[in-house]
Amino acid sequence: MIPDSIEAARRLLSWYDRHRRDLPWRAKPGETADPYRVWLSEIMLQQTTVPAAAPYFRNFTERWPAVRDLADAPLDDLLVAWAGLGYYARARNLHKCARAVVDRHGGRFPANEAALLELPGIGAYTAAAITAIAFDRKATVVDGNVERVIARIFAVEEPLPNAKPSLRRLAATLTPDFRPGDYAQAMMDLGATICTPRKPKCMLCPWAEYCEGRTAGIAETLPRKVAKAEKPTRRGVAYWLLNPDGSVLLRRRAEEGLLGGMAEVPSTSWGPELPGEAAVAAQQPLPARWRRLPGLVRHTFTHFHLELEVVAGQAGADWRLADGTWVPVDRLGDHALPSVMVKVVRHALSHA
């Protein structure tokens, strides 16, 4: 158990000072944090690893150095820049949030949790993180790392997500009044580098002697989680359609839902079974003779597996009638293609 939460916080901060990681969005010691950069990094890091987010962060801050720049940019420019990072609602909310900060707050992020929570794309975790890291005000930051650290320190055996309220309460009892920003980052760094999901490095942990999970020999098994449902497989056929200029037909997906607002190679609907010839003909973007390309494009989303067969066709004189945009192959990079569609494009180019 933790006999003295102030002493525990001091120990964690001492460890943090010695092992602070140099990350692209992190202010150097003594520097003042930029709320815009803190916000942008926190949105990018939602359910996303540091190595995946880092190049996107560099690109965004170079193109849009301040929140006003982001607010003034067209949404489509953000979507193209976000393509490949996933969870595209984040990019749409990023734009909404930038506009809200400009319109409602004069271009400055509000310095309190409640006001931050009102902004699009900012939930409990992100509001607390910005409060602590950008403004150095006390806030209890609870992300997946913190949940793991707290579950182990207090040997919480109740499975997630039920345990969330308890873990939050326990985390709050440890949050000190001093160095709020450093403490928040220290907790997350501890989870990311020492108190890792597998093979935690307890020998290096500044809190090892407090850790009830370690004492009980169950630290590595925590936090417990309820088993997730198995992912179903959905199947469809994608249409690789060229016009007489050699341009490819792309469409824009609906603004809401899966891959909302992103570009796609047109396809049949995705169902349990691969669509037959009749369905392929019924849903084709233009009448064409379709040639089946060998192999399948496989992709896994959060909640289902996808298998796409790709068919190639040549549009005739009526190609202008197609619903969508004709894009020269060497300009496909200008469009907001999610990773699954990049796979389809690569598949088509290598087999067609």
The mark string for 87-126 relative to DNA (x by CB under 7 A, - otherwise) is xxx---x--------------------------xxxxxxx
Cα–Cα dist 204/197, whole Å? 15
Cα–Cα dist 292/295, whole Å? 9
Binding of DNA at residue 339 (CB under 7 A)?
yes
Compute CA distances 41 → 26, 53, 284, whole Å.
9, 8, 41
What is the DSSP pairing of strand 247-252 with strand 297-300? unpaired
Cα–Cα dist 96/121, whole Å? 8
Binding of DNA at residue 144 (CB under 7 A)?
yes
What is the DSSP pairing of strand 247-252 with strand 263-264? antiparallel
**Nearest residue (CB) to DNA, 84 versus 295:** 84
Phi first, then psi, for residue 321 (nearest 5°) are -75, -15
Residue indicated by tokens 């490819």: 248
Cis check: omega of the bond before 200, within 30 degrees of 0? no
Minimum distance between the CB of residue 225 and DNA, rounded to whole angstroms? 6
The mark string for 246-275 relative to DNA (x by CB under 7 A, - otherwise) is -----------xxxx---------------
Give the interface size with DNA as a residue count (CB under 7 A): 59
Minimum distance between the CB of residue 72 and DNA, rounded to whole angstroms? 21
Minimum distance between the CB of residue 13 and DNA, rounded to whole angstroms? 16
Q: Which of residues 172-201 bind DNA (CB under 7 A)?
A: 185, 188-189, 191-192, 196-198
Binding of DNA at residue 340 (CB under 7 A)?
yes
Binding of DNA at residue 322 (CB under 7 A)?
no
Any idea which residues carry the catalytic annotation? Answer: 42
Cα–Cα dist 57/82, whole Å? 10
**Nearest residue (CB) to DNA, 44 versus 288:** 44
Cα–Cα dist 60/52, whole Å? 14
**Nearest residue (CB) to DNA, 75 versus 124:** 124
Minimum distance between the CB of residue 277 and DNA, rounded to whole angstroms? 27
Cα–Cα dist 42/311, whole Å? 40
Binding of DNA at residue 159 (CB under 7 A)?
no
Q: Applying CB under 7 A, which part among 48-56, 70-78, 171-179, 283-291 lies near DNA?
A: 48-56
**Nearest residue (CB) to DNA, 115 versus 314:** 115
**Nearest residue (CB) to DNA, 23 versus 33:** 23
Q: Which of 194, 240, 66, 41 is nearest to 130 (CA)?
A: 41
Binding of DNA at residue 51 (CB under 7 A)?
yes
Binding of DNA at residue 233 (CB under 7 A)?
no
Q: Out of 5, 14, 47, 269, point to the residue binding DNA (CB under 7 A).
A: 47
CB-based burial of residue 345 (10 Å sphere; 0-12 exposed, 13-18 middle, 19+ buried)?
buried
Helices (H), the chain: 5-19, 35-44, 50-63, 67-72, 75-82, 89-105, 113-117, 124-129, 135, 144-153, 164-174, 180-193, 212-215, 277-282, 339-351
**Nearest residue (CB) to DNA, 287 versus 295:** 295
Binding stretches for DNA (CB under 7 A) = 21, 23, 26, 41-42, 45-52, 84-89, 93, 120-127, 129, 143-145, 148, 161, 185, 188-189, 191-192, 196-198, 225, 227-229, 231, 257-260, 299-303, 338-340
